Structure 1
Amino acid sequence: MSDIPAAVRMQAAQWLVDLQGPESTPAMREAWQHWLNAHPDHAMAWRKVEALTCKTGALPAGIGRAALLPARPLRRQLLAVAAVGVAGTGVWQLSEQAGRGGRLQTATGQRTEHYLADGSRLMLNTQTQVRVQFDGAQRLLALDHGELLVETAADSMRPARPFRVRTRAGEMQAVGTRFTVRHEQETLLHVLEGAVDVRRSGAPDMPVRIHASQLLWFSPDWRSEILSAADTDAAWTRGMLLAADMPLPAFIQELARYRPGILDCAPELAHLRVSGTFPLDNTDRVLVMLQQVLPVEVRRWTRYWVRVQPAPAGQARAYRRV
């Protein structure tokens, strides 16, 4: 597996999730077969994922994992986990109508789904706060912090009101689309379908249009190049966290968004990389998996203070013999 590109490993893991999920169709299976036959790397990655999926045990029923450990030195080991199905759908809370105005928010580890007054669908990720501001002239979501996904509906009013998402970094106007927005210190826009026009706060430049499978980082005084992105970047909407060759400290930081308390990682573990698909609704099980395949120890100081640190020397030597 060491010579198989990381993108192909991720594609194999994602196909496994999709084919075992509730939305699997004959057309999807046919598309998977075309992908499988398109390149020898695809078939090799799939055989590895499929063969190792039965070696679960760390996840509850309905979830499989496949550890794809390439033949590399310890400093560049990869962990790849293919999670089968959608875990923990119980964390979703559905609101039939979010109304024309008001504040919506989620707690740590919570994800909610809402239908807005115009029929648009809104999904909120963990630790998100957004204000819905609909009136006769606009459809506006003011995202204070967190992450959301929007599937816009055609407006029944005439003239049609623009649909916008606003953060402190700027404003995004949908062009018949499906997209995610994440705002912390900066804003990340990822367009899944259609297009979105972006205008930075206070910036004199013209809006930039972001199309499907593209993303953009921006702030009031800076913006990135337009980058390509896979739809799997929105895996949180299906209860999954996807990582592609991510440094372990960055992975732990992302996982920490979904659990209360403090979860951190020793910086000396930055040489370890993580790739794969992980269930968001049981972060303790993800930590168990990390201990089983990486030379790390999960140290629990209290129930709400957890640290991932290097494993004791004896455990690390055992890991090298695997």
Structure 2
Amino acid sequence: MRSHEDVVPEAVNWYVLLSSEHVTDAERQAWDRWMRESDVHRQAWEDIKRKLSIFEGIPSNLGVEVLSRTPSKVNRQRREAIKTLGLLAAVLLPTGYVFKDALFGRINYDHFTDVGERKNITLTDGTNLVLNTKTAVTIHSSRHTMIVQLHHGEILVSTSKSHQKTQVLMIETGHGRILPLGTAFNVRRFDQFSRVSLFEGVLKLSPQQNGEDAFMQPLQEVDIHSNRVVFRPRLSVLSPSWQRGYLELDNMPLKYFAEEMERYRYGIIKCHRDIEQLMISGSFSLDDVDASLRSLAQTFPVRIQHYTRFLIMILPLNQ
């Protein structure tokens, strides 16, 4: 008989599949047959839901209505759940439910980094790009312009002061365009906006959908939405320390720490909701996430629980 640990990856795979808005009736029926095959299957399914529900608010009745659900009734909360579980499925499962970028990044993009990888690139105009973990860019060069298209992830840009400029450098993120005027700045693309942190120089920002242009000064940070620019009250990072392999925090919520560390390690790292707002400070290694988690537990009132190699929970110390 197969063990519980043997079938947990299958349960995660089914969860990801059933959470998709493209799930078919045949796939729903196949899940139902899988559930009926063994008590071990049903226990693994319930275990995945139970463990993750206290972190992401996963609905407890997922599976009860899945056989009667139509594609038009996909719940937004489940679409968020698939984002949470997608990376785990991509890492653990050989069944093909993996993200396109993970499989074909090096074919689709000019430059691409894997989880935990950083890469330095020098453009023909002397501009230096540092790609952070899970980042993809395409370079579009013409006689008068050099456009860096950020498809996903995060880049640190340092323009050259020594090269004679014959091309106008621009960064495009899908939410807007960034025009540097002799600068060092960080750009990170999220689903709904792109975050820009300026360390030196001046930036001109142009939202994609006819929003008003804005200018940034050093030590400012903004979120570029497709139709507006929103200035943030403080820098979310003290410095572009990730290029040196460190995450530097100054009185930031523990939830932010968990989200950042998750970017640099295959799998899922989640913070219990009771301690999400615990404020932490310090410098943490991005090249050795497990060591950073141990350091966190030694310094703050939390403990680290490894449910599987790819599923880590940060829990209150007394729980």
Structure 1 vs Structure 2: percent identity of aligned residues?
A: 28
**Is residue 145 of structure 1 aligned with residue 152 of structure 2?**
yes
Q: Which amino acid aligns with 2:222?
A: L
Counterparts of 1:69-108 in structure 2 under 5 Å? 103-108=110-115
Shift of 1:156: 5.8
Deviations 1:173-197 (A, max 9, x none): 1111111111112111111111110
1:306 to 294, 309, 312: 312
In structure 2, the CA distance between the partners of 1:204 and 1:258, relative to structure 1 (3 Å rule), is closer
Distance 2:162 2:177 in 1: 19
Q: Which has the higher helix share?
A: 2
**Is residue 196 of structure 1 aligned with residue 192 of structure 2?**
no
**Is residue 110 of structure 1 aligned with residue 117 of structure 2?**
yes
In structure 2, the CA distance between the partners of 1:173 and 1:297, relative to structure 1 (3 Å rule), is same
Q: Which has the higher strand share?
A: 1
Q: Identify the residue that residue 217 of structure 1 maps to in structure 2.
A: 223
Distance 1:231 1:308 in 2: 22
Q: Identify the residue that residue 95 of structure 2 maps to in structure 1.
A: none
1:260 to 255, 259, 266: 266
Instruction: Please tell me whether the aligned partners of residues 240 and 278 of structure 1 are also in contact (alpha carbons under 8 angstroms).
Output: yes
Distance 1:150 1:253 in 2: 23
**Is residue 172 of structure 1 aligned with residue 178 of structure 2?**
yes
Distance 1:266 1:199 in 2: 38
Shift of 1:151: 1.1
2:136 to 125, 129, 141: 129
In structure 2, the CA distance between the partners of 1:141 and 1:297, relative to structure 1 (3 Å rule), is same
Q: Identify the residue that residue 98 of structure 2 maps to in structure 1.
A: none
Distance 1:119 1:222 in 2: 31
Distance 1:226 1:250 in 2: 16
Q: Which amino acid aligns with 1:240?
A: Y
Instruction: Please tell me whether the aligned partners of residues 192 and 231 of structure 1 are also in contact (alpha carbons under 8 angstroms).
Output: no
SS of equivalent to 1:306: strand
Distance 2:251 2:233 in 1: 17
SS of equivalent to 2:239: helix
Structure 1: 4+ residue segments shifted above 6 A: none
Distance 1:110 1:204 in 2: 35
Counterparts of 1:42-53 in structure 2 under 5 Å? none
Deviations 1:26-81 (A, max 9, x none): xxxxxxxxxxxxxxxxxxxxxxxxxxxxxxxxxxxxxxxxxxxxxxxxxxxxxxxx
Shift of 1:231: 7.5
Q: Identify the residue that residue 274 of structure 1 maps to in structure 2.
A: 280
* Greater relative CO, 1 or 2 (CA 8 Å, sep 6+): 1
Deviations 1:82-127 (A, max 9, x none): xxxxxxxxxxxxxxxxxxx961111111111111122211101111
Over the aligned positions, Cα root-mean-square deviation in angstroms equals 2.2
Aligned length: 211
Instruction: Please tell me whether the aligned partners of residues 213 and 231 of structure 1 are also in contact (alpha carbons under 8 angstroms).
Output: no
Structure number, greater radius of gyration = 2
Instruction: Please tell me whether the aligned partners of residues 167 and 187 of structure 1 are also in contact (alpha carbons under 8 angstroms).
Output: yes
In structure 2, the CA distance between the partners of 1:153 and 1:220, relative to structure 1 (3 Å rule), is same
Distance 2:231 2:278 in 1: 28
In structure 2, the CA distance between the partners of 1:172 and 1:155, relative to structure 1 (3 Å rule), is farther
Shift of 1:269: 1.0
Instruction: Please tell me whether the aligned partners of residues 147 and 182 of structure 1 are also in contact (alpha carbons under 8 angstroms).
Output: yes
Instruction: Please tell me whether the aligned partners of residues 185 and 197 of structure 2 are also in contact (alpha carbons under 8 angstroms).
Output: yes
SS of equivalent to 2:182: strand
Could you state the TM-score of these two structures normalised by the residue count of structure 1? 0.61
Q: Identify the residue that residue 181 of structure 1 maps to in structure 2.
A: 187
Q: Which amino acid aligns with 2:311?
A: W
Q: Which amino acid aligns with 1:109?
A: G
In structure 2, the CA distance between the partners of 1:172 and 1:271, relative to structure 1 (3 Å rule), is closer
Q: Which amino acid aligns with 1:300?
A: H
Shift of 1:203: 1.8
Instruction: Please tell me whether the aligned partners of residues 252 and 281 of structure 2 are also in contact (alpha carbons under 8 angstroms).
Output: yes
1:249 to 250, 255, 271: 255
SS of equivalent to 1:291: helix
Q: Which amino acid aligns with 2:249?
A: A
